[in-house]
Amino acid sequence: MTSRPERRHHRGVEYLLSNRQVEAGTRFEAISELFDAWTFRHMDDIGVGPGWRCWEVGAGAPSIPAWLAGRVGESGHVLATDIDVSWLKDAPVDVRQHDIVRDEPPEGPFDLVHARLVLVHLADRDAALRTMVESLRPGGVLFIEDADPELQPLACPDERGDDERLANSVRRGFRKLLAERGADLAYGRTLPRLLREAGLTGVRADAFSPIASPACGVLETATILQVRDRLIAGGHATSGEIHHLLTTIAEGTLDLTLAPLISAWGRTPSQ
């Protein structure tokens, strides 16, 4: 697959990190390495098991749908949707192209609806959340995981030298690009309240933030490569600064971290 820009929109807002760019596959692999164990532990605690009907919203890559398929078995059903399903061709589940904001919801109801790192990017995230809640059966679980870059905005919390300062500067530029496209950089912290306001019960939440993992460097590199031209055009970094930062990341000398991933879940009232 060759790298080419793609414009994806939610009511006129351009999506910054296109699934069609070659770096998307690297990003998905790094995200899986960093967060899948965390996500799966929560799904275990929720009780996902044989016969469950599950909807993975904005799936991106196949790791979560495949795990769910193994848990629900032949008596269950897993639907994975995304605007772009390029990376889901080998997923052993029902895959559909779907826009959570604009399209009619798929036929439910579902025992579990899950979305990871999806709603924070949407201008119409409230409408998307309503759609997911309304797609649950009585007693069904909504499980949302999203970042909160404002809680911890730095790429290198231990800012001890020029390289760390450069990494933090580029991360600030990336955050500005996200905000310009409608991302809510403080969304993660609101999830428990939003789930309660949506009528869910037993709402719980926690957070996870990896640091100094090799996958953090892989993800940072892939993300910078995806938005390199926009960072330069926006005056957030020069070509030389980006080259230096990518070289430093490859050397493994930076203790990179990510914004906290807030995981929140709750159940619809049983009839």
Identify the band that residue 121 occupies on the pLDDT scale cut at 50, 70 and 90: confident
CATH number for the domain harbouring residue 199: 3.40.50.150
Average pLDDT over residues 111-133: 94
- Judge if the upstream peptide bond of residue 149 is cis by omega within 30 degrees of 0: no
| pLDDT surpassing 70 at residue 124 | yes
Residue 7 pLDDT more than 60?
no
**What pLDDT is recorded for position 4?**
29
Comparing 13-22, 32-41, 210-219, which segment has the lowest mean pLDDT? 13-22
Q: Is 247 inside a domain boundary?
A: no
The model's confidence at residue 24, banded by pLDDT at 50, 70 and 90, is confident
Residue type, 124: D
pLDDT at 16: 58
Number of structural domains (the chain) is 1
Assign 3-state DSSP to the chain and report helix, strand, coil percentages, each to 5: 40, 20, 40
Whether 225 maps to a domain, the answer reads no
- d(CA 94, CA 96) in angstroms, rounded, equals 7
Res. 14: pLDDT tops 70: no
Instruction: Report d(CA 254, CA 231) in Å as an integer.
Output: 20
User: 166 in a domain, yes or no?
Assistant: no
Kindly tell me if the per-residue pLDDT of 22 is higher than 90. no
Q: Is residue 169 part of a domain?
A: no
240: which 2 tokens? 């030389």
Query: Is residue 269 pLDDT above 80, yes or no?
Result: yes
Q: Which of 89, 35, 23, 24 is nearest to 64 (CA)?
A: 35
Residue 228 lies in a domain: no
The pLDDT, as a whole number, for residue 1 is: 29
In-domain check, residue 233: no
Parent domain of 101: 9-153+183-209+259-267
How does DSSP assign 192-250, residue by residue?
HHHHHHTT-EEEEEEEE--BS-HHHHHHHHHHHHHHHHHHHHTTS--HHHHHHHHHHHH
Average predicted confidence (pLDDT) for the chain? 91
pLDDT band, residue 164 (cuts 50/70/90): very high
Higher pLDDT, 226 or 20: 226
- Please tell me whether residue 6 adopts helix, strand or coil conformation: coil
Residue 3 belongs to some domain of the structure: no
Would residue 1 count as lying in a domain? no
Average pLDDT on 46-63 reads: 96
**6 vs 20 pLDDT, higher one:** 20
